[in-house]
């Protein structure tokens, strides 16, 4: 590595190259965010309390008034949708965190170092995936306490959980693009939930889309969140996921690739 002279920064051309260095830079950046978690326990606590509240409120407030054909117990229908909604909500941390780094100039300082520019975003999204995983485990434990069960095999349950996390990771890149595009943390927070709320509520997460107005049903049925939720719900309940599984994987892969490219390009151009 070339040593920078006094008052100057190493150029990007001086940065080590190769996949090994890229992985190292990404992990270094992810570690920065993961080490901050124990120092801010209230962030992890409140990000865990919210999904637990959703689980309890929807189960006990609406559970007695909603019947879904094919599901004797509404919890078996509802909780996979709550899982999907929660991990998607967890993806908004990327927008807020990156907007804060951009507004405080941290991103500019990182960009001046001889490292892969994409490592800043990859590290952030990976750290948020770990945070989402911790929240998911807590939420799953609460779900089991109130009666939710894996009706399928453990392998199907594992596949459902991995699908949930891959879908959440895809939308973390959507929020990463928002985070490097807006001008403040407040704007990033508002922008994230502006599109997440209709995406999650106009879906099959809480009710059968056939109960919605006819003009709204096409969006609810073809919503990528609905497709992912249907696949996850089928796997958890030991039912046939059909094309929903492959469509959900295709959506997750496509969103990840497209928005990762857009986010990295925006970040690179915004911090030069």
Using one digit for the tens of pLDDT, what is the confidence trace for 80-124?
Answer: 999 999 889 888 888 888 888 787 777 777 767 777 778 888 988
Residue 270 scores a pLDDT above 80: no
pLDDT in tens, 210-247: 889 999 999 999 999 999 999 999 999 999 988 999 99
Closest CA to 161 of 231, 232, 241: 232
More confident residue, 7 or 30: 30
CA 102 from centroid of its chain's CA atoms: 20
What per-residue confidence (pLDDT) applies to 93? 85
What per-residue confidence (pLDDT) applies to 5? 43
pLDDT-derived band at 1, boundaries 50, 70, 90: very low
pLDDT-derived band at 7, boundaries 50, 70, 90: very low
- Cα–Cα distances (Å) from 142 to 51, 56, 60, 242, 259, in that order, read 10, 9, 13, 29, 33
pLDDT-derived band at 61, boundaries 50, 70, 90: confident
**Weakest mean pLDDT among 59-68, 70-79, 210-219:** 59-68
What per-residue confidence (pLDDT) applies to 15? 54
Residue 175 scores a pLDDT above 50: yes
Residue 28: count of CB within 10 angstroms of its CB = 12
pLDDT-derived band at 17, boundaries 50, 70, 90: low
Residue 189: count of CB within 10 angstroms of its CB = 18
What per-residue confidence (pLDDT) applies to 109? 74
Pair 19, 112: CB distance under 8 Å: no
Q: How far apart are CA 40 and CA 36, in angstroms?
A: 6
Q: What is the pTM of this model?
A: 0.83
What stretches of the chain adopt beta strand conformation (E)?
none
What per-residue confidence (pLDDT) applies to 8? 44
Pair 33, 127: CB distance under 8 Å: yes
What stretches of 9-137 adopt beta strand conformation (E)?
none
What per-residue confidence (pLDDT) applies to 269? 80
Name the β-bridge partners of 71: 68
Helix axes 41-57, 74-90, angle to 10 degrees: 150
Q: Domain limits of the chain?
A: 14-270
What per-residue confidence (pLDDT) applies to 254? 96
- Give 222: exposed, middle or buried? Use CB within 10 Å, 0-12, 13-18, 19+: exposed
- Cα–Cα distances (Å) from 3 to 16, 36, 160, 194, in that order, read 12, 29, 48, 46
What per-residue confidence (pLDDT) applies to 119? 84
For the segment 137-148, the average pLDDT, to the nearest whole number, is 89
Residue 131 scores a pLDDT above 90: no
For the segment 129-145, the average pLDDT, to the nearest whole number, is 89
Residue 60: count of CB within 10 angstroms of its CB = 11
């Amino acid at each position: 590595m070339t040593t920078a002279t006094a008052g100057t920064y190493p150029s990007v051309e001086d940065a080590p190259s190769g996949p090994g260095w890229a992985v190292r830079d990404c992990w270094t950046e992810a570690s920065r965010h993961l080490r901050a978690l124990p120092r801010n326990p209230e962030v992890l606590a409140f990000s865990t309390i919210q999904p637990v509240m959703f689980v309890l409120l929807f189960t006990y407030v609406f559970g007695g008034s909603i019947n879904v054909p094919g599901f004797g117990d509404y919890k078996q229908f509802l909780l996979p949708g709550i899982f999907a909604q929660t991990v998607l909500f967890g993806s908004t941390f990327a927008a807020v965190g990156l907007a804060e780094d951009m507004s405080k100039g941290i991103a500019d300082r990182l960009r001046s170092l001889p490292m892969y520019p994409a490592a800043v975003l990859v590290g952030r999204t990976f750290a948020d995936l770990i945070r989402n995983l911790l929240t998911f485990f807590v939420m799953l434990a609460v779900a089991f306490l109130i009666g939710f069960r894996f009706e399928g095999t453990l392998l199907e349950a594992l596949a459902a959980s991995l699908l949930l996390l891959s879908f959440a990771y895809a939308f973390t890149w959507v929020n990463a693009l928002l985070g490097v595009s807006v001008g403040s943390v407040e704007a990033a927070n508002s922008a994230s939930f502006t599109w997440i709320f209709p995406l999650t509520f106009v879906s099959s997460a809480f009710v059968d889309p056939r109960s919605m107005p006819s003009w709204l049903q096409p969006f609810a049925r073809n919503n990528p969140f609905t497709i992912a939720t249907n696949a996850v719900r089928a796997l958890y309940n030991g039912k046939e996921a059909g094309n929903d599984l492959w469509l959900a994987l295709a959506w997750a892969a496509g969103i990840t690739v497209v928005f990762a490219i857009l986010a990295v390009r925006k970040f690179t151009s915004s911090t030069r």
